[in-house]
Amino acid sequence: MHVGDQPSLLCGAFVHKETEMIDLYYWPTPNGHKITMFLEEAGLEYAIHPVDISAGDQFRSDFLAISPNNRMPAIIDTTPADGGEMVSVFESGAILLYLAEKTGRFMPSDVRGRKIVTEWLFWQVGGLGPMAGQNHHFALYAPTSIPYAIERYVNETNRLYGVLDRHLEDRAFLAGDRYSIADMASYPRIVPWKRQQQNMDDFPNLRRWFDMVRQRAGTQRAYAKGEAYSNRPTITEEGKAVLFGQTASRASVA
Ligand SMILES: N[C@@H](CCC(=O)N[C@@H](CS)C(=O)NCC(=O)O)C(=O)O
């Protein structure tokens, strides 16, 4: 793919807009769903700009300008709270924090409430997300089956499910009584629990929380949004060639 041959992914996002609007660079994966879950819950106006990661859109220079790690999601806020120039944000955890601060929603304002939300948000982006990601990689996508790697990540996923289950024993949501960005961060990684070789019967508190988050209207709308962009159940061989084996010198499109 040649970047210059393509219409810009940024689709006019750098033009100042009168109405409040978030431009979302998105593909319907767990990290993408986190952000549509927030946007749907908060009722913010947003426009989706698809970043087809199996086709290599994440390597396009206009996307890299806002997301230098060649990963989606990313956002552009064309009407930031300080009234200044538009703001771009990459990394799902940073985006959730940014949007929570912008709207004053899904993040408590007291010291202790903020502390617990940030603990579980960082726990997800540094633990559950990467470990469950490796679980999927070795169990579903690796060209050869490596039993040690599969066992390591299935076990680590299981340990993390146990941490969530214990934490949820005496609280409705991760930060207590109120739904927060910590819940939005973790939920999409639990959705494929069967593929992660986990048994929800072993985690009754996690199941209760999972069902509660799944039934929220915002969650339903967020996942419905994703359906328009991809109905591919698995990553194709072409997609694997784009996604796997990236190095510093080979993180680009052919
Ligand atoms: N730490 C990042 C991870 C984002 C991430 O891994 N995104 C994946 C899709 S879920 C991606 O863009 N992959 C493209 C690639 O591997 O080249 C975040 O939380 O935003």
pTM beyond 0.85, yes or no: yes
CB of 92 sitting under 6 A from ligand 1: yes
Spatial contact of 182 and 120, defined as CB atoms under 8 Å apart: yes
Report pLDDT for 182: 98
Q: Average pLDDT, whole number, for the chain?
A: 91
Q: Whose Cα sits closest to atom 1 in ligand 1?
A: 91
Which tens digits make up the pLDDT trace of 196-253?
A: 999 999 999 999 999 999 999 999 999 999 998 875 556 788 888 888 888 887 665 5
Cβ neighbours for 78, distance < 8 A, ≥ 6 positions apart: 13, 15, 16, 17, 21, 22, 23, 86
Can you tell me the distance from the alpha carbon of 73 to that of 123, in angstroms, rounded to the nearest whole number?
18
Looking at the predicted structure, is the pLDDT value of residue 1 above 60?
Answer: no
Report pLDDT for 154: 98
Tally of CA atoms within 13 A in the half-sphere of 61 that contains its CB: 5
CB of 36 sitting under 6 A from ligand 1: no
Looking at the predicted structure, is the pLDDT value of residue 16 above 90?
Answer: no
Mean pLDDT, range 3-14, rounded to an integer:
54
Mean pLDDT, range 69-84, rounded to an integer:
96
CB of 31 sitting under 6 A from ligand 1: yes
Report pLDDT for 249: 78
Can you tell me the distance from the alpha carbon of 201 to that of 84, in angstroms, rounded to the nearest whole number?
50
CA of 73 from ligand 1 middle (Å) equals: 7
CB of 230 sitting under 6 A from ligand 1: no
Spatial contact of 51 and 72, defined as CB atoms under 8 Å apart: yes
CA of 18 from ligand 1 middle (Å) equals: 31
CB of 134 sitting under 6 A from ligand 1: no
Residue whose CB lies within 8 A of the most ligand 1 atoms, among 24, 26, 31, for a mutation test: 31
CA of 50 from ligand 1 middle (Å) equals: 14
CB of 198 sitting under 6 A from ligand 1: no
Can you tell me the distance from the alpha carbon of 39 to that of 62, in angstroms, rounded to the nearest whole number?
23
Q: Which long-range contacts (CB under 8 A, 24 or more apart) does 229-237 make?
A: 229/26, 229/27, 229/28, 229/48, 229/50, 229/52, 230/27, 230/28, 230/52, 232/54, 234/140, 235/54, 235/141, 236/54
Please report which helix (H) or strand (E) contains residue 49, including its range: strand 46-50
Tally of CA atoms within 13 A in the half-sphere of 251 that contains its CB: 10
